Amino acid sequence: MTRFFLLFLVALICAPAAFAQDYSRYEFYVGYAYERADNNAATFDKNGRATFNGATVTLANQRENYNGFNAEFNQNITRHVGIATSFTGTYNNNGYVNTKNGRVFGASAQRYDLLIGPRYNWRMSGITPFAHAMAGITHMRVNFDDKLSGSRRADTAFAMAFGGGLDVHAGDHLDVRAIQVDYLPTFFNSTHQNNLRVSAGVKIK
């Protein structure tokens, strides 16, 4: 009986190691983000109804470069499946062009994306490729140097993100996100914009 009790005690002590997870339940990521995105000009000139010095203004709709940060919190439900929450802030100071006379209106633009969705991880020795699909909202704010009468300063719309990336293991509690690429459709002004986001940084496990 004593021998059986000792064997049972040893089994209890070793059980946590036997069932230990080979992945982290919670992961935090922060890194640099680049977006190639639509400037949503029609939103901010109210479809050509904004005016400057009494004349209507139609801002050129074009794709711009936005730079900033991306932060994520990922809760792993199983070894392969997690729920990722992503927050991105990117910025641009290129301004907007009036198509009627070529005048450039100086402006600072800010884009913020808050998204959540499932992520699938392929956990391998040394690396973890992953893919995800997320949905949420995007908020864009533009501050013009010159007063445009009737123009909008901010708008919020539905957004999604479809993409993935590659994490390289650097330690028990640290990974390097070599790259993350997302197709980021948004729906400002009741229309569809096709955007791209690329990010890289570090993940704490």
* Contact assessment for residue 90 and residue 67, using Cβ atoms and an 8 Å cutoff: yes
pLDDT along the chain (205 residues), means of 10: 44 41 86 97 93 94 97 96 98 96 95 98 95 98 91 95 97 95 96 97 96
The pLDDT of residue 4 is 43
Show the DSSP H helices in 19-95 as ranges: 41-44
Global confidence as pTM? 0.84
CA distance 123 to 76: 12
The pLDDT of residue 122 is 96
Q: Which helix (H) or strand (E) holds 11?
A: helix 2-18
Helices (H) and strands (E) in the chain, counts: 2, 12
Give the distance from CA 130 to its chain's centroid.
Answer: 15
Under DSSP, is residue 105 helix (H, G, I), strand (E, B) or coil?
strand
The pLDDT of residue 23 is 76
CA distance 46 to 57: 9
Instruction: Please list the residues that pair with 201 across neighbouring strands.
Output: 31, 177
The pLDDT of residue 22 is 66
Domain spans of the chain, in order of start = 26-204
- In this structure, whether the domain defined by 26-204 belongs to CATH 2.40.160.20 is answered with yes
